[in-house]
Amino acid sequence: MDKIIFFDTTLRDGEQAPGASLNTEEKIEIARALEGLGVDVIEAGFPVSSFGDFEAVKSVSSLIKRASVCGLSRAKQKDIDAAGAALKKAKYPRIHVFLATSKIHRKYKLKKAKYEILRQAVESVKYARKFTNDIEFSPEDASRTEPEFLFRVIEAVIKAGASTVNIPDTVGYAEPEEYGNLITAIRENVGNSNKAIISVHCHNDLGLAVANSLSAVKNGARQVECTINGIGERAGNASLEEIIMALKTRGDIFSALKTNIKTSKICKTSRLVSKLTGFVVAPNKAIVGANAFRHEAGIHQDGILKKRSTYEIIKPKDVGFYETGLVLGKHSGRHAFADRLKNLGLQLTASQMGKAFICFKGLADKKKYIFDEDLFAIVEDEVRIVARVWQLEDLEISSGIKSLPKARVTLNKKNKLFKAESSGDGPVDACYKAIDKITGIKGKLLDYSIHSVTAGKDAQGEVSIKIRAREKIVSGRAASTDIIEASAKAYINAINRLFLKTHHNEPKINC
Ligand code: KIV
Ligand code: ZN
């Protein structure tokens, strides 16, 4: 039986999505979740690109023991050296070298002739072999490369020692049949293609990333590169959860293929990635969207009650989708709380558990019933985020339809309190202006959305925002029963992420 290797690039291509930024602790947490999910290769970053990426690949390498850990590198010695150094402690290190091969990239980006590209590709693969035998080569923009030239490059890099050759559809231009045919053509025209795994890496610019990946698999590709929730550059990458569930659900077509993915961990991993990147999952997103298993129409509900498979092609539990249940309240004790977190798969250290319990009690004073979603919000928003440069200490708002909204904000930085006041177009605007005065960072709000974590008038509102500041786009998210407080915390969360992006050595203050 053939195996499909799942190569997850959430921490590299996924993190390249504008607004997604992960610190090392967050990358480690996601890497652990990916390993638990059964991913075979974790692309943890692009070590030469920044100190933060180097450190993240290094830390993930020393912790992950079952999956291969991969570092991306241009076809340059200094990049390969950085990747090799970052991967030193990895049990199964992989270096992923890429070099563009298409005419448009050769002419305008690289300004190099075909023979120079060929030589550079071969030399870089040979050089990378000094660090590990597991070398992947990507002819960037492969799907727009002249096939004859692509075949020559692939043959040469395999001869030079590449054990995986990835065929990126870098700009999401391919169409499924055409892309599948390209994979077949590679297998038929590259003499030594059976000496390497053929991999695929599809972007979603035309919404075809998953379809293209599946077509490639049908035509002999045996590694798929993908991300959780399909996050990534521009319209994103092929989504891991959609590929694996298509392979499983359509076992009639893909029955000869096995994978290591434990699908029951999909929803948990999806939620973690969404929380830590700040990228909200659309309710109608396949497999992991909140509505993916909800049936609204009467006819559908009737069918579901009679036989679930009338309208359900996947069992929700197979992807770890849970339904909201009433769980805890004001009188619930520490034991019941810890037990519920455990059942939800939320593993915390003793000190995190202590903090989470305090947050839970605080919430239970404001809100009668605490649902599973509230617990996720507490753990992911309040407890696990370790890098807090600024924290909200206090917030006073005066607002009315006929009076000018005003905010008085107190922030804490390294146990020192900073206060500012401002008016604004509304209470949130006033609050953000006051925060800007304190931090000295003027954030331009690009996106603001709020949704209620659960039903009920006392539900927590979860605010997700995206801001542009200091030429970077960062996102922030926070939940509270008070939506102005949630808005302020989400903004501060984004500012803290900005600090992470620009000051890697900024001291970390825990909540
Ligand atoms: O999309 C792309 O071409 C890439 C390569 C680096 C593999 O991400
Ligand atoms: Zn890509």
Q: What is the pLDDT of residues 82-134, one digit of tens each?
A: 999 999 999 999 999 999 999 999 999 999 999 999 999 999 999 999 999 99
According to DSSP, the residues that pair with 449 across neighbouring strands are: 464
> Residue 168: CB within 6 Å of ligand 1?
yes
In sequence order, what are the residues at sequence separation of 6 or more whose Cβ sits closer than 8 angstroms to the Cβ of residue 260? 3, 6, 38, 39, 40
Q: At what angle do helices 51-63 and 77-86 cross, to 10 degrees?
A: 40
Please report the atom of ligand 1 found closest to the CA of residue 166. Answer: 7
| Token code pair at residue 80 | 């390969």
> Residue 170: CB within 6 Å of ligand 1?
yes
According to DSSP, the residues that pair with 254 across neighbouring strands are: none
- The pTM for the full model equals 0.81
What pLDDT, on a 0 to 100 scale, did the predictor assign at position 505? 38
Secondary structure (H, E, C), 143-157: HHCCHHHHHHHHHHH
- What would the pLDDT profile of 236-289 be if each residue is shown by its tens digit? 999 999 999 999 999 999 988 999 999 999 998 998 899 888 888 998 999 999
Asked if residues 48 and 83 have their Cβ atoms less than 8 Å apart, the reply is yes
What pLDDT, on a 0 to 100 scale, did the predictor assign at position 385? 57
What pLDDT, on a 0 to 100 scale, did the predictor assign at position 143? 98
> Residue 140: CB within 6 Å of ligand 1?
yes
Ligand 2 centroid to residue 63 C-alpha, Å: 25
Ligand 2 centroid to residue 41 C-alpha, Å: 15
What pLDDT, on a 0 to 100 scale, did the predictor assign at position 508? 34
- What would the pLDDT profile of 294-339 be if each residue is shown by its tens digit? 777 777 777 877 888 888 899 999 999 876 555 788 888 898 888 8
Residue 32, pLDDT above cutoff 90 = yes
Residue 219 has φ and ψ, to the nearest 5°, of -100, 15
What pLDDT, on a 0 to 100 scale, did the predictor assign at position 506? 37
By the CB criterion, residues less than 5 angstroms from ion ligand 2 are 13
The helix (H) or strand (E) run that includes residue 375 is: helix 372-377
Ligand in nearest proximity to the CA of 199:
1
Please report the atom of ligand 1 found closest to the CA of residue 141. Answer: 3
The helix (H) or strand (E) run that includes residue 52 is: helix 51-63
Geometric angle at alpha carbon 385, from 380 and 386, rounded to 5°? 150
Distance CA(6)–CA(15), nearest Å, equals 18
Mean pLDDT estimate for the chain: 91
What pLDDT, on a 0 to 100 scale, did the predictor assign at position 408? 97
Strand runs labelled E in 272-428: 326-329, 369-371, 391-398, 406-413, 416-423
- What would the pLDDT profile of 451-470 be if each residue is shown by its tens digit? 888 778 888 888 988 888 88
- What would the pLDDT profile of 485-496 be if each residue is shown by its tens digit? 999 999 998 898
| Token code pair at residue 112 | 């190099």
Rg (CA), the chain: 24
In sequence order, what are the residues at sequence separation of 6 or more whose Cβ sits closer than 8 angstroms to the Cβ of residue 243? 210, 213, 214, 224, 226
Judge residue 400's burial from the number of C-beta atoms within 10 Å of its C-beta, 0-12 exposed, 13-18 middle, 19 or more buried: exposed
Helices (H) and strands (E) in the chain, counts: 17, 18
Distance CA(385)–CA(499), nearest Å, equals 14
Distance CA(235)–CA(230), nearest Å, equals 9
Nearest CA owner, ligand 1 atom 2: 170
Asked if residues 132 and 94 have their Cβ atoms less than 8 Å apart, the reply is yes
Residue 386, pLDDT above cutoff 60 = no
In sequence order, what are the residues at sequence separation of 6 or more whose Cβ sits closer than 8 angstroms to the Cβ of residue 187? 193, 194, 198, 219, 220
Residue 373, pLDDT above cutoff 90 = no
Strand 93-100 and strand 68-74: the pairing is parallel
Dihedral over Cα of 16, 78, 89, 162: its sign? positive
| Token code pair at residue 332 | 């619930």
Q: Please state the length of the chain.
A: 511
Geometric angle at alpha carbon 484, from 482 and 488, rounded to 5°? 120
CATH number of 391-501: 3.30.160.270
The single-letter DSSP state of residue 265 is G
The helix (H) or strand (E) run that includes residue 473 is: strand 472-480
Q: Which residue has the tokens 């849970």?
A: 322
Which amino acid would we find at residue 332?
S
Ligand 2 centroid to residue 201 C-alpha, Å: 6
Q: Which residue has the tokens 């593993």?
A: 347
| Token code pair at residue 94 | 């992989």
Q: Which fold has domain 2-277?
A: TIM Barrel (3.20.20)
| Token code pair at residue 383 | 């407890």
- What would the pLDDT profile of 136-195 be if each residue is shown by its tens digit? 999 999 999 999 999 999 999 999 999 999 999 999 999 999 999 999 999 999 999 999
| Token code pair at residue 311 | 């309208």
Tell me whether the CATH fold assigned to 2-277 matches the one assigned to 391-501. no
Task: Summarize the confidence of residues 351-369 as an average pLDDT.
Answer: 89
What pLDDT, on a 0 to 100 scale, did the predictor assign at position 325? 57
Geometric angle at alpha carbon 401, from 400 and 402, rounded to 5°? 90
Distance CA(340)–CA(41), nearest Å, equals 31
**Closest-CA residue to 197 (of 121, 136, 145):** 136
Residue 3 has φ and ψ, to the nearest 5°, of -110, 140
Distance CA(3)–CA(13), nearest Å, equals 23
- What would the pLDDT profile of 248-258 be if each residue is shown by its tens digit? 999 999 988 99
> Residue 71: CB within 6 Å of ligand 1?
no
Parse the chain into domains and list their residue ranges: 2-277, 292-321, 326-383, 391-501
Which ranges in 402-476 belong to alpha helices (H)?
A: 427-439
Distance CA(392)–CA(278), nearest Å, equals 19
Q: Which residue has the tokens 């390209």?
A: 182
What pLDDT, on a 0 to 100 scale, did the predictor assign at position 326? 57
Ligand 1 centroid to residue 170 C-alpha, Å: 6
Judge residue 75's burial from the number of C-beta atoms within 10 Å of its C-beta, 0-12 exposed, 13-18 middle, 19 or more buried: buried
